[in-house]
Structures are given as C-alpha cells and as structure tokens.
Chain A
Amino acid sequence: MAAVQVSEAEKVYLMHGVRDGLRLDGRRCEDYRHMEIETDVVSNTDGSAKISLGHTDVLVGVKAEIGKPKPTVPDEGYLEFFVDCSANATPEFEGRGGEELGVELSNILYKVFNNRHSVDLRSLCICPGENCWVLYVDVLLLQCDGNLFDAISIAIKAALFNTRIPKVHISEDEEGGKEIELSDDPYDCMRLNVENVPCIVTLCKIGHRHVVDATLQEKACSVASLLISVTHKGMVTCVRKMGRGSLDPESIFEMTEAGKRVGKTLHAPLMELLQKEESLGKKRQKVGFLG
C-alpha cells in the first residue's frame, strides 16, 4: 500500500480530532469525501466506469465473453476479477510490487460480488451446462489515497450498471448441433439488474471511534478496520476484519450498525445519479481523465 509518513505529533493531533468528531479535512466521522463518477469512459469495453473519491482514482472495465459454466452450477454464469495496481499510483507497485495487494483485493471482490445474492448469475446463462457469459471485471488503480475498497465497489456497481451484453439466439440444426447467433442490431442488448449489488463500507478504528472513508494519514493512525459490504436493503453480505490490531466486541457491533447505516444511504443517490447520467444520452458532456 502506498505509504505516507505521519509523525507522532501529527498522529496525536489527528486522533484527538477524531475523538472530538473532527477530521483534518473538515468532514464528520461518517462522511465520504467528494465523489465523482462517470460511466462509459472506455469504448472497447461492454461497460466501464471511473470514480474519483478524493485523490483515489479507480477505473473499471467490464468485458463479456462466452465461456463454459462451472460444472457445479451449470445454469449460472460467473464473474472474474482482476485488480491491477498500476505503477502510476505509487512507485512501490512497479514490477511485481503491487501483486500482493492486487490478489488480496480481487479475493475480496470475489467474495463480495460473485454470488447469487448480488448479481443475478442465472441471467448470464446462455445454454445450461454448455455456454454462459463470463464477465471479466478489470480494475485499474490510477491513484491511491486510501479507502480503495469502497471506491472499487462503487466503481464496479456503476460499471455493471453500464454493462450491455449483446443478445444471442440459439438455433438448432437437424443433427441437434447448437449454434449461437449474435443479433445484428448492436443496440439489441441485455442489461444486468444491479439493484442488489452491494457496496463496501470500510470503517477505520481510530482511538475509541471509527471513521468512514479514511485517507492515508488516517489509515496510518488506525490499527484495525472493518470491511462491511451492504446491499440497498441493508443486508450484510461480507464482513472482514483487516489490519494488525484487534477490536472490542462492543465496537464491532457498533461498527456493523454504522456500516449498515452508511452503506444503505450510499445506494439510493448512486442509482439516481447513474440513471440521470444515462437519461442524458448523447447530450452528456464527457469529462474523461483530466476533469
């Protein structure tokens, strides 16, 4: 992870601030930083989204390919995740430096998104046992300024919302051989239902309190954080304790409750925003990477 140097005095200042409910950038403990989302940013993907949360920048591309369903679940498609920690974000990621973090991130993304509660995996099925859609979700970290998980999860939700999978038709010849035909109309697409796709909320324990959306400085002051993924209904789909410290049982209950509350309030504005952006259609002003 990108490291920042925080002196003892700075730590004390920051921790005392959090104790009194004040943070360095003037936010309250359960506030997110300014967030900007843009979908459909990469033309070669089936769905893409870019998010910037403070100085954290994440780009997600979704590509759909036809593959073979897993033998244990013949009537479902699946998602594949790959997180690339670009050396642009910090020089530590150069070469194989970012690999460890990338694997850790993608493992958690599998747990959070690749299950039937979050995405309707059955809708990805083309022909049970033979063909299904495989969604390759590639995450690129462009800038790291803390709270990667939350940013990535929101970007994935936006990218999945934006994903258009071409409709296919299965025709059968006389010998029973099956053939997959792609529709001629490029606008004849299937959309995914992203309503249940969860968002991750990471709560960092600082002193006796916890903060949402910690920056790198704040993260350096915290020994343990709790990662909670919440759906729009407030169901908790994944909880992980991260970091080298331990947590008091009471604070865990407090943090899951706060995580649920924060996560729930995250979904409605996000969906509204995505729908609004889409309704603009061609009139939408593209911001791109320099915005």
Chain B
Amino acid sequence: MPVDTRRIRGPEESQSPLLFLAPDKVPEASSRQGVRANGDVRPVFARCGLISQAKGSAYLEAGNTKIICSVYGPKETERKDETDMKTGRLVCDFRLAPFSCMKRGAWIQGSEERDLSATLLESLQPGVCLHRYPRSQIEVNVIVLENDGSILAHAVTCASMALADGGIEMYDVVLGCALRQNGNTCLVDPSYSEECGTWQEGYGENQGCVTVALLPNLNQVSGLNADGEMREDTLADAVRTCMDGCHKLYPVVHQALTRAVKRKAPPPEK
C-alpha cells in the first residue's frame, strides 16, 4: 500500500532503533549461561521431504536458526553455451527471508546473499556425482526463515540432506559447522549475538569467524571460509574444532535420512 508521505510528518532521515541498543557482549570463557559448553553445537532438529512438489527437500533447525531447502531436477540445462557438457551443473540460490534478521531485508538478492550462494555451491559441488548427470542441471534453493547465527554452515547441511532426499547421487553428505574465535576462546556454532558480538569494537587479536564444510566419510574438506584476523595456528585449531563439530552432526543427519527413506519405501511387512 502506498504511504502518503505528506500525512506522516516524520523526519526526512530515519534510522533503525536497533542501532542504539547496547551491543551484546560476547560471553567470556565458559559463560554461555550454562546452557551449553563453548565446544557444544546447538541441538539440531532435521527432517526430510516436507515440500511435496520438490524432488527433495529438508528442514533444519538449530536453536533459532531455521532453514528450508528444496532440490529440483535434474532437468535440461538452461545455459546451452556451456562448453563442458560432460558433467551436470549445480545451481544454488541462497536467500534470507526479509523477516529473518533483526532488520528487514529486501526480497531482491543482495550481494551478501549472492556471495553465500557461491560459497554454498563450492561447498556442495565436491559431494555430488555431477558426472552422472550430463547435460542437465540440479537446482538447490535455500531460504533462511530465521537467522540466529551460523546460517552458512547449517545451510550446507540442510542442502546436502535435501540432495540426498531427492535421490541425487552423492559421494558423501556434506556437513557444515561454524566457529567464532574470540581471543583465546572459541565458540562452536555461534548464535547471532555471539557471531556479531563485540565485533563492532573488535580491535582485539584473534578475532574471526570460520565455517567449514566436511565430507565426513571421505574426510575431505569441501568448503572453508574464514574472516577476521587470526594467527595461523589458531586458524588450524579452529578448522580442527569445526571438523569435530561436523562429526557431531552426522548421527542426526543420518537418522533423518534413514527415516525419510523408510517412509518413502516402507520395509516389506512380514
């Protein structure tokens, strides 16, 4: 609905009230209010096959982070000019719902979302047997309903579950885990406030965020994304911690996928 600007006599420029909130402090060592230890991931709820039209789909919830992913295809590729037709193409679309963050976002994909799409694609690609789908493309659509931190990591897990649910041939599932390094403490699977935290005044040393995507059975890292300023040994430790975090997720994903398969093809009754 168009708004009559003459009737509402607000100031010409306005700013979000969220700017004036005191930024949350990143909890110091072992002070996640006793809910979980610094090395713990949040409990994850994962289900497959909730979108009936899609070939495969998955829903994942970790704390307040909620993500839906759907997979369409394989279908004929749209881009005919692609020279390499021997392998299939994976297309990723990562979107944050406008209401997912504290501040309302736009429906149009911003540069941050495009960047996340590219990273998601690079993390998923090594896990999918694309050579089995020549001349075709597989579409992966991810939408974040609620952003409470570590969205990229959970999106990777969710998308690989949806791919597996859609019967796309894969070498392995891809699991994601994020970490927030704050000085000498590291918080695994950070929530939104932990992720930003004192980042605003983060002039300290060893500050940064790391996201790792792992193929657990092949023990291969398919995605690595680190920002901030860290020493090299801290980074190596952070990557190792993230890999442990991924392994912790594996049973949950495994269970959700088995459950989906059992429902689709019920075991014969004796």
* B15 contacts across to A, CB distance below 8 A: 71
* A242 contacts across to B, CB distance below 8 A: 122
| Contact bitstring B92-120, A, C-beta under 8 A = 1, else 0 | 00000000000000000001001100110
Does B226 sit at the interface, judged by CB under 8 A?
A: yes
Q: Quick one: which of A203-261 are within 8 Å of B by CB?
A: 224, 226, 231, 234-249, 252-253, 256-257, 260
| Contact bitstring B216-255, A, C-beta under 8 A = 1, else 0 | 0011111111111111100110011001000000000000
* A260 contacts across to B, CB distance below 8 A: 232
Q: In the complex, are the beta carbons of A253 and B236 less than 8 A apart?
A: yes
Question: In the assembly, what is the distance between CA of A244 and CA of B240, in Å?
Answer: 22
Which of B111, B220, B228 sits near A248, CB closer than 8 Å?
A: B220
Question: In the assembly, what is the distance between CA of A236 and CA of B210, in Å?
Answer: 12
Does B19 sit at the interface, judged by CB under 8 A?
A: yes
Q: Whole-angstrom distance from the CB of A257 to the nearest CB of chain B?
A: 6
Contact A107-B115, Cβ < 8 Å, known A235-B231, A260-B232: yes
Q: In the complex, are the beta carbons of B111 and A246 less than 8 A apart?
A: no
Question: In the assembly, what is the distance between CA of A205 and CA of B107, in Å?
Answer: 38
Closest-by-CB residue of B relative to A252 is B221
Which of B83, B220, B230 sits near A235, CB closer than 8 Å?
A: B230
Contact A103-B114, Cβ < 8 Å, known A236-B226, A236-B231: yes
Does B200 sit at the interface, judged by CB under 8 A?
A: yes
* A244 contacts across to B, CB distance below 8 A: 122, 125-126
Q: In the complex, are the beta carbons of A256 and B236 less than 8 A apart?
A: yes
* A226 contacts across to B, CB distance below 8 A: 224
Closest-by-CB residue of A relative to B222 is A246
Question: In the assembly, what is the distance between CA of A256 and CA of B122, in Å?
Answer: 19
Question: In the assembly, what is the distance between CA of A252 and CA of B203, in Å?
Answer: 27
A-B contact count (CB 8 A): 91
Q: Whole-angstrom distance from the CB of A87 to the nearest CB of chain B?
A: 16
Does B215 sit at the interface, judged by CB under 8 A?
A: yes
Closest-by-CB residue of B relative to A230 is B232
Q: Quick one: which of A110-146 are within 8 Å of B by CB?
A: 111, 116-117
Does A104 sit at the interface, judged by CB under 8 A?
A: yes
Q: In the complex, are the beta carbons of B221 and A247 less than 8 A apart?
A: yes
Question: In the assembly, what is the distance between CA of A193 and CA of B255, in Å?
Answer: 54
* B115 contacts across to A, CB distance below 8 A: 104, 107
Q: In the complex, are the beta carbons of A240 and B229 less than 8 A apart?
A: no
Does A72 sit at the interface, judged by CB under 8 A?
A: yes
Which of A73, A245, A256 sits near B235, CB closer than 8 Å?
A: A256
Q: Quick one: which of B20-58 are within 8 Å of A by CB?
A: none
* A104 contacts across to B, CB distance below 8 A: 115, 118
Contact A236-B114, Cβ < 8 Å, known A72-B200, A226-B224, A249-B221: no
Which of A240, A249, A257 sits near B225, CB closer than 8 Å?
A: A240
Q: In the complex, are the beta carbons of A247 and B111 less than 8 A apart?
A: no
Closest-by-CB residue of B relative to A72 is B19
Which of A3, A111, A236 sits near B230, CB closer than 8 Å?
A: A236
Interface residues of A (CB under 8 A from B): 3, 71-73, 103-104, 107, 111, 116-117, 224, 226, 231, 234-249, 252-253, 256-257, 260
Given contacts A116-B203, A238-B226, 12 further A-B contacts (CB under 8 A): A71-B19, A103-B114, A107-B115, A117-B229, A235-B231, A239-B210, A239-B235, A240-B226, A241-B122, A245-B126, A248-B219, A252-B239
Closest 9 CB pairs of A and B: A246-B126, A239-B226, A246-B220, A246-B222, A241-B224, A117-B229, A107-B115, A244-B125, A260-B232
Residue contacts A-B, CB under 8 angstroms, 27 given: A71-B15, A71-B16, A71-B19, A72-B19, A103-B111, A104-B115, A107-B115, A107-B118, A116-B203, A117-B229, A234-B231, A234-B232, A236-B226, A236-B231, A236-B232, A237-B227, A239-B235, A240-B224, A241-B122, A241-B123, A244-B122, A246-B215, A247-B222, A247-B224, A248-B219, A249-B221, A249-B240
